[in-house]
Structure 1
Amino acid sequence: MIARATYDAAAFQELVFPYLQRDPVLNTTLLTAVSDSVHGILNDPEPTVFVSVHDDADEVIGAVMWRPLRGIQLAGLPADLVPPVLDVLAEAVPDAQSVHGSEKSARLFAEQFGARTGRSFAVVDRSRLHVLGEFVAQQADGTARLATEGDLDVLAPMFAAYRLEVGHPGEGAEAVRTWLLQRVERGRLWVWEDGGRVVTMVGHQNPVFGVVRVGPVYTPPEHRGRGYASALTAHVTRHLRDAGDQVCLNTDLANPTSNKIYAAIGYRPVQDFVAYAFS
């Protein structure tokens, strides 16, 4: 086995997408991040490092990436492919701040990367990938609509608060506004409006290989407990499902409320993931 790194998103997409297409739900995060990078809407402050793993016949058998704002993303990488990936990333990004993947692969990577770079590591997040089963509509006061550029003044502080809440602060006001505008222009951001106020936002990724992932989902604290997030997530889910795509999303296992909400809509667990931070 051998792993190779590149900064060329388009070349990486051409190389690894046939492999990742075999399980587009499990590989959704990697697929959408690469797709956004190719289309110029992955707004990291430094170039992304893309890594492909090849067998002795030079066939792709694994793919991962490192993003400055998200760390090392192992996606569905099997544990036995961690060593060649580690060799490449320990050289390319020795200061990487985190790794995210399945429990076995992420733990093995964290142990070996920590030993190689002389750093300790600790769990900072546990999440679960879900896919939509039988859809169940949800109700709340108000209505759903696509976000517009006119909503940006309301959505910018809302999205900044979301980033802070999930542990990804520091992207800056301009980066937040750019992220929002890019999604608004592509019809990938929705809001729930009640009494003339925008009270919840829900985004979604671009469909890749017939799979589309919902997120982010955020309701400011003062508007919570009224079913807005449930209703808007359900609305967006139905819209995406009716377009013919399989719908999935990630949940934070530390947030039982959101997990209950998504289960009520019809989402069912696929696989758990863990993130380790290095220090």
Structure 2
Amino acid sequence: MSVRLTTDPAEFKATTFPFLRRDPVLNSYILSNTEDRISGILHDPAPPVFLSIHDETTDEVLGAVFCTALRGIQLGALSDALVPAIVDACAARAPNPDVIAGTASAALLLTELLAARSGKTFRQTTGMRLHKLGTFVEQHANGTARQAVAADVEVVVPLLTAYGIELGHPLPPDEQYRWVRTRIERGRLWLWEDDGHVVSVVGHQQTLFNSTRVGPVYTPPFARGHGYASALTAHVTRLLQAAGSEVCLNTDLANPTSNKIYAAIGYRPLNDFIVYELT
């Protein structure tokens, strides 16, 4: 096997998307993050590094990985067998080699190998579960859904700032404004209103190869428990499905409430992804 590195997302796309599109739901995170960097709506404090793993004889792409300063090493659905091939490159070139995310076994294997090289210890921080929509089930709540417009920026920014803080990944204020504006311009943010107040926000990623990932999903604490997020997520899901897309989303494994909510809409577990941190 051979490993190729680039800091150019367009080059990475040309190399790996024909491979990744074979399962656009399972590879949704790498596909959408790469596309958003190409379109200029995702920015990094340090240049990201993209890796492609190839068969040395045929040059066939076998796997794809991207590494960023904020999110660490993202293995996606990389198989365990390919992990040893990327250790040197990740240790030497990843802008943040201390965070590793991937399937449970692949992420643990790379974490162990990097920890052995650096002498650091490690811990599991979070776990995410990727769900794919099966049979859609409508959800209901008081109020109505609508697509966010430019005038909603001042309302949406505080909501998604709070969302980032809860996740432990807050964006700087200027970056948060830019993030919200660009997604509103692209029609990728939706709001639920009840009695004239915005009580929930749901976004979705760009549709790629007839697959779309829903997220973020956020309801402020004062508005929780009324079914707003369920109803809005269902609304966005139905629109995406009606447009011919397969629909997926991620949930926090430590949050049984969100997993229950999305199951009620018709989402079914597809794969788990674990995040480790070297310390």
> Residue deviations 1:55-109, cap 9 Å, x none?
1221110000011111111001001101111111111027423111001100000
Partner of 2:187: 187
Aligned pairs, number: 278
Q: Which secondary structure state, in structure 1, belongs to the residue aligned with residue 146 of structure 2?
A: strand
- For 2:186 and 2:62, the matched residues in 1 are separated by 32
Residues 49, 95 of structure 2: 8 Å contact kept: no
- TM-score, normalized by length of structure 1? 0.98
Q: Which residue of 2 aligns with 1:66?
A: 67
Matches of 1:202 and 1:65, distance apart in 2: 25
Aligned partners of 2:165 and 2:122: how far apart in 1? 21
Alignment of 1:78-117 (within 5 A): 78-93=79-94, 95-117=96-118
1:156 aligns with 2:122: no
CA distance in 2, matches of 1:258, 1:39: 31
For residue 27 of structure 2, what is the amino acid of its counterpart? Answer: N
In structure 1, C-alpha distance between the alignment counterparts of 2:86 and 2:232, rounded to whole Å: 39
Judge conservation of contact 2:67–2:95 (CA < 8 Å) in 1.
no
When normalised by structure 2's length, the TM-score is 0.98
User: What does the per-residue CA deviation read over 1:113-154, in whole Å, with 9 as the maximum and x for residues that have no partner?
Assistant: 111122221100011100000000000011001111211111
> Helix, strand or coil: the match of 1:75?
coil
Answer yes or no: is the 8 Å Cα contact 2:69–2:96 preserved in 1. Answer: no
Q: Which 4+ residue blocks in structure 1 deviate beyond 6 angstroms?
A: none
CA distance in 2, matches of 1:273, 1:142: 34
Alignment partner, residue 213 of structure 2 = 213
Distance 2:135 2:169 in 1: 33
Deviates more, 1:112-121 or 1:183-192: 112-121
What amino acid is aligned across from residue 125 of structure 1 in structure 2?
T
State the distance in 2 between where 1:112 and 1:94 align.
17
**Secondary structure in 1 matching 2:75:** strand
Aligned to 2:128: 127
Aligned pairs for 1:18-97 within 5 A: 18-56=18-56, 57-93=58-94, 95-97=96-98
2:163 corresponds to which letter in structure 1? Y
Coordinate RMSD, CA, aligned: 1.0
The answer to whether the Cα contact below 8 Å between 2:73 and 2:94 also exists between their aligned partners in 1 is no
1:262 is matched with: 262
Partner SS for 2:35: helix
Distance in 2 (CA, whole Å) between partners of 1:95 and 1:117 is 13
Q: Note if contact 1:94-1:117 (Cα within 8 Å) is conserved in structure 2.
A: no
Aligned residue in 2 for 1:14 = 14
| Mapping 1:160-179, distance limit 5 Å | 160-169=161-170, 171-179=171-179
For 2:95 and 2:144, how far apart are their aligned partners in 1?
48
Aligned to 1:3: 3
Distance 1:151 1:180 in 2: 9
- Work out the CA distance in 1 between the residues paired with 2:35 and 2:95: 25
CA distance in 2, matches of 1:216, 1:235: 14
- Alpha-carbon distance between aligned partners in 2 of 1:134 and 1:178, rounded to the nearest angstrom: 35
Residues 28 and 211, structure 2, Cα contact 8 Å, conserved in 1: yes
